[in-house]
């Protein structure tokens, strides 16, 4: 049996969060705690970007909550002067679900890593995405376990030699974006720690999205997995490594042609049913017809999933970067509050009197 849920209407991710009356600065968002990541850690860049970006949201600082699990990145909430909880390994999405469901007036953020979100907390991640709870999940992916000093993670390439895998790891890695799309995430994106402009743009879009926004951030661990994303960062290789996804734009990259446009692009692959990279020169006049134009708003996640498969599962020489998917879907927390609101409207009156009626209901008898 199903029932009409009377979905309350789609809104921006922060529509119900009160706005700040004054302009804010990044400094206000900086807590008094000493930051204790290793020198050169990619987490610094993300922290700076977030501290710089939050004032632009224009929300009251006391209505922002950061929740994390366990791992290097999960220290994040201590360094932001908002409300926050550094919780237990893998459980941040469940804690954030409780907060987001209990309070419509909060902007809820989850900071997690590849081990926290995809290994011990994999279940909570996929169910948060499925329910579409209004929160933004920042997954710092360094493809290694840092805090426990260098074991392979669920995003490490197969065959990786680590402390726990001296003959090479045997696990096939997760592709976080593919996983999020498979769980029908309504906002799925990927960005890079070192590209502050892109990072900020993606965070803005994620915060504005109502529902679970999932952002994978490639983040370099200089101690245990240095250089994991070098192909995407090195000026000599990045043009061929980064497949940029911009809604409404043809997906092309690689060394620029005379017009400054990439010489490579994505087309459908009739053999696999997916998509593939081609030299556009090989397409001749068919470029216009065959070159894919990115549509992040496509309600069907199939194409976004196909594009996500272009990420190398071994050493990273190529990966699509940008917003894969951004669609509107009812959120769990809005609907849960709507049900409570509907029930309350149907039963007005004093709670105490209604409690007396409740416990005094059923078949009763009186002894005098």
Partner 1 sequence: MSVQQGKQVKQLDRVIIRFAGDSGDGMQLTGDRFTQESAVFGNDLVTLPNFPAEIRAPQGTLPGVSSFQVHFADHDILTAGDAPDVLVAMNPAALKANLGDLPKGAAIIVDTHDFTARNLAKAGYATNPLDVLGDVNDPLGAFAVHAVDLTGMTIEAVKEFGLSRKDAARAKNMFALGLLSWMYGRPTEPTVTFLEKRFAKVADIRDANIAAFKAGWNFGETTETFVVQYEIKPAPMAPGTYRNITGNLALAYGLVAGGVQSGLPVFLGSYPITPASDILHELSKHKAFGVTTFQAEDEIAGVGAAIGASFAGSLAVTTTSGPGIALKSEAIGLAVMTELPLVVVDVQRGGPSTGLPTKTEQADLLQAMFGRNGEAPLPIVAPRSPGDCFDAALEACRIAVTYRTPVMLLSDGYLANGSEPWRIPELADLPTIDPNFAAPGPQDPDGTTSAFQPYARDPHTLARPWAPPGVAGLEHRIGGLEKADITGNISYDPANHDLMVRTRQAKVDRIAESLPPLEVDDPSAEDGQGAKVVALGWGSTYGPIGAGVRRVRKAGYRVAQVHLRHLNPFPKDLGEILARYDKVLVPEMNLGQLSMLIRAKYLVDAVGYNQVRGLPLKAAEVAEAIGELISQAEGIQVDLSADATPAASPDASTAVSTQEALS
Q: Render 266-285 in DSSP notation, one character per residue.
A: EEE-TTTSSEEEEEGGGGGG
Residue 250 φ/ψ, nearest 5 degrees: -60, 145
Q: Which is nearer to partner 1, 78 or 315 (CB)?
A: 78
Please report how the helices 196-208 and 42-57 are oriented relative to each other, as an axis angle in degrees rounded to 10: 50
Q: Which is nearer to partner 1, 236 or 363 (CB)?
A: 363
Q: Which is nearer to partner 1, 67 or 202 (CB)?
A: 67
CB atoms within 10 A of CB 198: 18
Structure tokens at 162: 């680590």
CA distances from 136 to 131, 132, 208, 239, 257 (A): 13, 10, 10, 29, 37
Q: How far is the CB of 116 from partner 1 (least distance, A)?
A: 13
Q: How far is the CB of 68 from partner 1 (least distance, A)?
A: 8
Q: How far is the CB of 99 from partner 1 (least distance, A)?
A: 4
3 state DSSP class of 238: helix
**Rounded CA separation 261/359 (Å):** 72
Q: How far is the CB of 146 from partner 1 (least distance, A)?
A: 17
Burial class (CB in 10 A: 0-12, 13-18, 19+), 143: buried
Q: Which is nearer to partner 1, 110 or 323 (CB)?
A: 110
Structure tokens at 300: 């069907």
Structure tokens at 96: 């954030």
Chain residues in the site for partner 1 (CB under 8 A): 31, 33, 60-65, 67, 70, 77-78, 81-88, 91, 94-103, 105-106, 123-124, 127, 336-337, 339-340, 342-344, 346-347, 351-352, 354-356, 358-368
3 state DSSP class of 33: coil
CB atoms within 10 A of CB 11: 14
Q: How far is the CB of 111 from partner 1 (least distance, A)?
A: 12
Task: Report, in angstroms and rounded to the nearest whole number, the Rg of the chain calculated over CA atoms.
Answer: 23
Q: How far is the CB of 186 from partner 1 (least distance, A)?
A: 18
Q: Which is nearer to partner 1, 55 or 250 (CB)?
A: 55
**Rounded CA separation 294/307 (Å):** 10
For the chain, the straight-line distance linking the first and the last C-alpha, in angstroms and rounded, comes to 45
Q: How far is the CB of 100 from partner 1 (least distance, A)?
A: 8
Q: Which is nearer to partner 1, 33 or 234 (CB)?
A: 33
Q: Which is nearer to partner 1, 97 or 311 (CB)?
A: 97
Q: How far is the CB of 232 from partner 1 (least distance, A)?
A: 32
**Rounded CA separation 23/297 (Å):** 32
3 state DSSP class of 191: strand
Q: How far is the CB of 3 from partner 1 (least distance, A)?
A: 13
Q: How far is the CB of 336 from partner 1 (least distance, A)?
A: 6
Q: Which is nearer to partner 1, 293 or 355 (CB)?
A: 355
Q: Which is nearer to partner 1, 167 or 346 (CB)?
A: 346
3 state DSSP class of 324: strand
**Rounded CA separation 97/108 (Å):** 9
Sheet harboring 275-279: ordered strands across?
252-256, 262-268, 275-279
Q: Which is nearer to partner 1, 314 or 341 (CB)?
A: 341
């Amino acid at each position: 049996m199903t029932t009409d849920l009377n979905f309350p209407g789609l809104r921006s991710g922060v529509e119900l969060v009160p706005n700040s009356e004054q302009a804010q600065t990044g400094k206000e968002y900086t807590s008094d705690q000493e930051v204790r990541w290793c020198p050169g850690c990619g987490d610094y860049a993300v922290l700076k970007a977030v501290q710089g970006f939050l004032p632009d949201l224009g929300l009251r600082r006391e209505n922002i909550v950061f929740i994390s699990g366990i791992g290097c990145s999960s220290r994040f909430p201590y360094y932001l002067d908002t409300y926050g909880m550094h919780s237990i390994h893998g459980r941040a999405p469940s804690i954030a679900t409780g907060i987001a469901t209990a309070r419509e007036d909060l902007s809820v953020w989850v900071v997690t890593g590849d081990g926290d979100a995809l290994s011990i907390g994999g279940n909570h991640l996929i169910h948060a995405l499925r329910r579409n709870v209004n929160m933004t999940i920042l997954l710092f992916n360094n493809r290694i376990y840092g805090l426990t000093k260098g074991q392979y993670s669920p995003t490490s390439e197969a065959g990786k030699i680590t402390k726990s895998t001296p003959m090479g790891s045997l696990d096939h890695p997760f592709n976080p974006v593919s996983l999020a799309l498979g769980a029908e995430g309504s906002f799925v994106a990927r960005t890079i720690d070192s590209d502050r402009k892109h990072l900020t743009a993606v965070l803005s879009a994620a915060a504005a999205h109502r529902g679970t926004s999932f952002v994978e951030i490639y983040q370099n661990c200089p101690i245990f997995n240095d250089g994991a994303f070098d192909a995407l960062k090195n000026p000599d290789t990045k043009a061929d490594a980064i497949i940029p996804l911009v809604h409404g734009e043809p997906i092309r990259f690689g060394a620029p042609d005379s017009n400054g446009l990439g010489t490579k692009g994505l087309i459908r692959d009739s053999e696999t049913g997916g998509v593939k990279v081609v030299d556009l020169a090989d397409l001749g006049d068919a470029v216009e017809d065959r070159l894919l134009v990115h549509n992040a708003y496509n309600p069907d996640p199939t194409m976004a999933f196909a594009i996500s498969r272009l990420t190398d599962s071994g050493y990273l020489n190529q990966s699509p970067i940008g917003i894969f998917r951004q669609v509107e879907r009812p959120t769990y927390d809005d609907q849960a509050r709507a049900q409570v609101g509907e029930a309350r409207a149907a039963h007005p009156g004093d709670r105490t009197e209604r409690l007396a009626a409740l416990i005094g209901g059923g078949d009763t008898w009186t002894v005098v």
